[in-house]
Amino acid sequence: MANTVHLQYFAILREQRGADRETLTTQAATLRDLYETLAREHGFTLTTAQVRPAVNETVADWDRAIADGDRIVFLPPVAGG
């Protein structure tokens, strides 16, 4: 089943994606499936073990099922200071 989701990228993911946000229609069942698809497509260097997803303003698990209209944010750890 295809769901339309709104994606937002931070920091290094934004740079590797070349955009800070996008809306797309995906067949992916879970956040993990979606991230791995995007990672292959755009050459993300960070794995799901390093990045934390959030859905609808709440930190989420990679195994969370994707629902239509989800607002998804991928949060890489950044440490500069």
Partner 1 sequence: MFSLQREPLEPMTMARPDAGGYVSFVGRVRNHHVGKAVDGLDYEAFDAMALAEGDKVVREAIERFGVLEARCIHRIGSLNVGDVAIAIEVAAGHRREAFRACEFIIDEVKRRVPIWKRERYADGVEEWVHAWSAAPEALTEEAYYQAQTRLPEVGLEGQDRLRRARVLVIGAGGLGCPAITYLASCGVGTILVADHDVLEGDNLHRQPLFRVADIGRMKADLAAEAVAALNPYVRAESHTVRFDASNAERLIAGCDLVLDCSDNLATKDAANAACVALGVPLVVAGIHRMEGWVLSVDPKSEGGCLRCLWPTASQETRSCAEVGVLGFVPGVLGVFMATEAIKRLTGWGDTLGDRLWLVDLLRMEAQSVQRAKEPGCPVCSSPASLAASEPIALKWGDPALAVGDWALLDLRNDAQFEFPLDWPRLSENELSQGGSGRRVLVLCDRGISSVDVVLKARRRGIHAWSLEHGDIGLRRALGR
Q: Which residues bind partner 1 (CB under 8 A)?
A: 10-12, 14, 20, 49-50, 52, 54, 57-59, 73, 75, 77-81
Nearer to partner 1, 3 or 8 (CB): 8
What burial letters (b/e) apply to 65-77, b meaning 16+ CB within 10 Å?
ebeeebebbbebe
Closest distance to partner 1 from the beta carbon of 69 (Å): 17
> Residue 61 CB, nearest distance to partner 1 (Å)?
9
CA angle 2, 71, 51 (to 5 degrees): 100
Nearer to partner 1, 25 or 58 (CB): 58
Which residues does 71 contact at the CB level (< 8 Å), separation at least 6? 5, 6, 8, 55, 56, 57
Give me the least distance between CB of 9 and partner 1, in Å please: 10
